[in-house]
Amino acid sequence: MARELVKGGLTKLNEGANAVEIKRGIDAGVKEVLETLKQNSEKISSEEQLEQIATISANNDPEVGKLISRAMEKVGREGVVYIEESKTDETYLEVVEGMQFDRGYKSPYFVTNNNNMLLAYIVEKLSGMNFRDYAKKNLFEAAGMSESFVYDPLHPEMLRTAAKGYIPRRGGPVVSEFNHLDGVTGDKGIYSTVEDLYHWDTALNEEKLVKFSTLEEAFTPQHTSPKVLPKNYGFGWRLAQLDNGEWLTYHTGWWHGFKNYYLHNPKDNSAIIILGNMANHALSKVNIVQSILYPEKANLFLKGEALPAEFVLGGN
């Protein structure tokens, strides 16, 4: 059903239909379907019914269905049941009392756009607020970022004074067009300025947004098996280890022709903030900016590459 919704929506978009109207139509259709399902649904009243449903969910495997039924009996209807591949040839049930959190990531591919969107959804559920409103109140306003916002495609007037993103083409740069992925929160859609991101960096340094202990954990490399990788990832931060053992804490991003770079250096409260609106390779030269800000480490950033003549000669 979900596939057909996406397929039909994309077909209408290609035919020139308004994306906002398609979204409203999908929402109305989903609401109607959910109401119909609710009217025709039957509450589970016995363990036998639960086992039948579990068996169907387990590709008609009665053994797994019976285990799921037993698991639901132990954790309750509000509990969580996972099915994982066994490391032995035995199928068994394991119950964890309370809550269990594994430190770090089980996979180096865990940090993805999908997970960032999931985090935004979790924020909404825990706070009871729309993510855009939550970010405005608890992040932007708390850090003094008066020009920053999370884009809402239902309010295109938000972009009236915003820069446009460009993509290089043979005939010259063209404006990057918006598409059906715009409006997703958590992994994209934040508009800001260099000045506002300076306020963000200052807020991190002054413990206005999160505790230093939380930041320390976020800056800890999580890819440690079988060894600590020099190009690593923390919690929402990219990490790169220099030859002298020090770690760079930074992140990059791109969307619709916009490309950015943000390096946070808590040791001396310095930062590098670069916002661009052309999808080219300019950020590949960020090591030059790093060498200017931290000249004592220039040999680590450049690794034999010379500074451009205009920097050496003091030009503009």
pLDDT in tens, 261-287: 999 998 888 999 999 998 888 887 888
User: Per mean pLDDT, which range of 106-120, 178-192, 224-238 is the poorest?
Assistant: 106-120
Q: What is the pLDDT of residue 219?
A: 93
Assigned domain for 37 exists = yes
My answer on whether 134 and 246 are in the same domain is yes
Backbone dihedral angles phi then psi of residue 112, each to the nearest 5 degrees? -135, 170
Q: What is the pLDDT of residue 90?
A: 67
My answer on whether 242 and 214 are in the same domain is yes
Assigned domain for 105 exists = no
Cβ-defined contacts of 148-153 (< 8 Å, 24+): 148/190, 148/191, 148/192, 148/193, 148/196, 149/190, 149/191, 150/185, 150/189, 150/190, 150/191, 151/182, 151/183, 151/189, 151/190, 151/191, 152/183, 153/19, 153/20, 153/178, 153/182, 153/183
pLDDT band at 314 (very low <50, low <70, confident <90, very high): very low
Residue 316 has pLDDT above 60, yes or no: no
Assigned domain for 102 exists = no
Assigned domain for 85 exists = no
My answer on whether 266 and 142 are in the same domain is yes
Which whole number is the average pLDDT over 63-86?
73
Strands 166-167 and 174-175: antiparallel
What is the total count of domains within the chain? 3
- Report which of residues 224 and 148 the model is more confident about: 148
My answer on whether 117 and 165 are in the same domain is yes
Q: What domain range is 48 assigned to?
A: 44-77
To the question of pTM greater than 0.85 for the whole model, the response is no
My answer on whether 159 and 240 are in the same domain is yes
Assigned domain for 121 exists = yes
My answer on whether 149 and 178 are in the same domain is yes
My answer on whether 167 and 140 are in the same domain is yes
What residue type is 208 in one-letter code? K
Residue 196 has pLDDT above 90, yes or no: yes
The Cα 72–Cα 269 span in angstroms is 51
Assigned domain for 248 exists = yes
Q: What is the pLDDT of residue 311?
A: 47
My answer on whether 183 and 242 are in the same domain is yes
My answer on whether 157 and 269 are in the same domain is yes
Which whole number is the average pLDDT over 68-77?
75
Final residue in a domain of this structure, among 77, 99, 134: 77
The Cα 43–Cα 249 span in angstroms is 51
Domain of 182, CATH number, reads 3.40.710.10
My answer on whether 65 and 140 are in the same domain is no
Q: What is the pLDDT of residue 58?
A: 76
Is 229:237 a contact under the CB 8 Å cutoff? Answer: no
Assigned domain for 299 exists = no
What residue type is 287 in one-letter code? N
pLDDT band at 101 (very low <50, low <70, confident <90, very high): very low
